Amino acid sequence: MALWGWPAVRAFRLWGAGGGRRPIAFSAGVSGVFGNGSSSKKQKLSLGDVAELIRARACQRVVVMVGAGISTPSGIPDFRSPGSGCYSNLQQYDVPYPEAIFELPFFLYNPKPFLSLAKKLYPGNYRPNVTHYFLRLLHDKGQLLRLYTQNIDGLERASGIPASKLVEAHGSFASATCTVCRTAAPGEDFWADVLEDRVPCCPVCGGVTKPDIVFFGEPLPERFLLHVVDFPMADLLLILGTSLQVEPFASLSEAVRSSVPRLLMNRDVVGPLAWRPRSRDVIQLGDLVHSVERLVELLGWTEEMKDLVRQETGKLTGCDG
């Protein structure tokens, strides 16, 4: 894909200056995880080892990749699960085939099915869950380099992670653009129309306004180019709740250095971690919320997590907590 061939210097300009490594004093346990160079055989890591790397701040440039699986505990269905996924339940939207709802030609012909789906995804209808707040806590502690998300639900933003730390690979509802004259519009204007079951129209030319969600065949957002800088710098990669089926997002999982641990927390082993595993991979299968809670416990962050969830939930409900 053309995006992958763009010069790294452009991505660096987008990312900004800084990023030099700071000296880290490793504990004995962390030194054991990294190894002392005396053996060519690399130690197999565990979830506890990853927790020790984070807790001891041996990993300070954590890159995270997430998919729809982190939002299903918030009540948002994923796209591909048989029977329960969005693609299995789109008959109600009067589309010729499921993927048409995310195709620009069909949207221009009939935007109402997508707008009806968008109304159900309105950010106020759902709230972040423990996985989102774990990533927020990772940011608060200064260890999150970047969060790459395939999701368009905006729950990463709602959890308090700043936009500068996000790469919304498939776009977001935070802004919108006229499909005719390309005039930009704030997401609030788009939602004002959608919530009243109106087709959003451009105030300049009258064309249909589309949220800046990436439809099939459209280029990814320019911020996606940050992967050129972020992944080679990463000292830990977390992969949460994704099938790793959609390119070029899926291939990012192989863009970190081979010495960098990759932690997959998912229901199944997927993508390159299934068919080309590395010696530093850690696989934690099962319910994602339970896995995240286990990692938080190993980190010793349980009370901090409870406080953060209480505080942010109070903000979202309009209470002081």
Our measurement of the distance from residue 75's CA atom to the centroid of its chain's CA atoms, rounded to an integer in Å, reads: 17
- For 204-265, give the DSSP string: TT-PBEEEEE--BTSPPPGGGGGHHHHHHH-SEEEEES----STTTGGGGG-S-TTS-EEEE
Catalytic-labelled residue, pool 139, 170, 227, 290: 170
Contact 304, 136 (CB under 8 A): no
Reading the block at residue 65, the tokens are 């990749």
Whether 170 is catalytic is yes
Amino acid identity, residue 16? G
Tell me the C-alpha distance between 158 and 60, whole Å: 23
How many Å from the N-terminal Cα to the C-terminal Cα in the chain?
Answer: 47
Tell me the C-alpha distance between 75 and 63, whole Å: 25
Reading the block at residue 185, the tokens are 């519009």
Reading the block at residue 308, the tokens are 């953060």
The SS3 assignment for 74 reads helix
CA dihedral of residues 270, 274, 277, 280 (deg, nearest 10): 50
Tell me the C-alpha distance between 238 and 63, whole Å: 6
Alpha carbon of 148 to those of 100, 252, 267, 277, 306: distances in Å?
Answer: 25, 10, 19, 21, 24
Tell me the C-alpha distance between 195 and 115, whole Å: 9
Q: Can you point out the beta strands (E) in the chain?
A: 62-66, 144-149, 166-168, 171-178, 184-186, 209-213, 236-240, 262-266, 281-285
Based on the number of CB atoms within 10 Å of its own CB, is 208 exposed (0-12), middle (13-18) or buried (19 or more)? Answer: middle
Q: Give catalytic residues, as residue numbers.
A: 170
